[in-house]
Amino acid sequence: MTRYEDLPYRTCVGIMLLNQQGHVFIGRRAGGIEHVDETHVWQMPQGGVDPGEDTWEAAKRELYEETSVKSVEKLGEVPEWLIYDIPRTVAGRAWKGRYRGQRQRWFAIRFTGDDKEINVQHPPEGHKAEFVNWRWEPMKNLPELIVPFKRPVYERVVKEFAGLAGEAVSDTRPYRPNVGIALFNHEGKVLIGRRFKDDGPEIVLPGLEWQMPQGGVDPEEDPRVAMMRELWEETGVTHADYLGETGWMTYDFIRHDDPTHRFAAFRGQRQKWFALKFTGDDAEVDPLTPRNGQPAEFDAWRWERLDRVADLVVPFRREVYRAVATEFAPFAAA
């Protein structure tokens, strides 16, 4: 039996399909060998190159087979082959054990058609569906959505095609004042809640529904007062001691096309984060009961290690969560 280290790479193409706004098509995988966890389920189209097939022709064919899209024009390609290894735990089952990973040629392609052309659930010519759903995603978010063993390839592809993202237009809208709360228990873990619905641009993604409590600051409201109000409204907690706070941090919302939504006037959130020590009993935590006329934010909660929370939130908040984890690391040591 050939050793894993001696196996060749399978020749493959990858396709970054961009719409007119510079956002990228991603599909939610239906399964398969490379679907190794329930968090990183999104990816761009890709597929094998047939013997003697030109890579550009293969890219157009694979895109059509996976998405039904034909209305395209070529924008560019990565000038060399990009390689990734699949985990050893699945290598024996992937492609009948003949390959250790993929050797990919990546293409950037402009979608010139209408979204109605896209059909992932019923691919043409009887091809098996690769995706169960799809959406347009800002290019910068792609590396955080893909399975970890493909992430270096996605980071390189994003770097190569960044000039096509169409996200350089200045956004003059202000950031919405907001507070975030890292509530620590006696073991040094923080409270996180599971969001169960979108709130305009504050979307929920499958497998990335968790976050720490946060909320807006009312006009003229002191951030510390806002913090305790938001903590009570979202969790019912009142027994907590102040430990520390960060400076102001910002994150941008994803593109959202509803001009009537209350967040439409803002480009994102400007947050001050507070660390608190929970001094009550777990029975006090109740995220399901509405308070102050505000609907419930969470349908479940748990205690989690602070350094793990960034991997559980939506990608556009992840940089802020990592900064919070660094600043509040001393409080996480029980």
Please, are residues 131 and 118 in contact by the beta-carbon 8 Å criterion? no
Q: Is the pLDDT of residue 34 over 70?
A: no
> How confident is the prediction for the chain on average, in pLDDT?
90
Tens digit of each residue's pLDDT (9 = 90 or more) over 54-107: 999 999 999 999 999 999 999 999 989 999 888 776 666 666 668 888 899 999
**How far are the Cα atoms of 175, 181, 242, 300 from residue 213, in angstroms, in the given order?**
18, 5, 15, 12
Average pLDDT over residues 166-194: 87
**How far are the Cα atoms of 152, 263, 307 from residue 183, in angstroms, in the given order?**
34, 26, 14
Q: Is the pLDDT of residue 33 over 80?
A: no
Distance CA 177, CA 218 (A): 8
Q: Does an H or E element contain 58, and which?
A: helix 55-67
User: Quick check: pTM over 0.85?
Assistant: no
Of the pLDDT bands very low, low, confident and very high (cuts 50, 70, 90), residue 4 is: low
pLDDT at 90: 66
- The domains of the chain, with CATH numbers, are 8-164 (3.90.79.10), 175-332 (3.90.79.10)
> What value, to the nearest 5°, has the Cα angle with vertex 120 and ends 97 and 152?
50
How many C-beta atoms surround the C-beta of residue 196 within 10 A? 12
Q: Which two tokens stand for residue 313?
A: 């939130």
pLDDT at 257: 77
Q: Integer distance in angstroms from the first to the last C-alpha of the chain?
A: 49
Of the pLDDT bands very low, low, confident and very high (cuts 50, 70, 90), residue 134 is: very high
Q: Does an H or E element contain 142, and which?
A: helix 142-145
Q: Which two tokens stand for residue 184?
A: 């620590």
Of the pLDDT bands very low, low, confident and very high (cuts 50, 70, 90), residue 168 is: very low
Tens digit of each residue's pLDDT (9 = 90 or more) over 211-262: 999 999 999 999 999 999 999 999 999 999 999 999 999 988 887 778 899 9
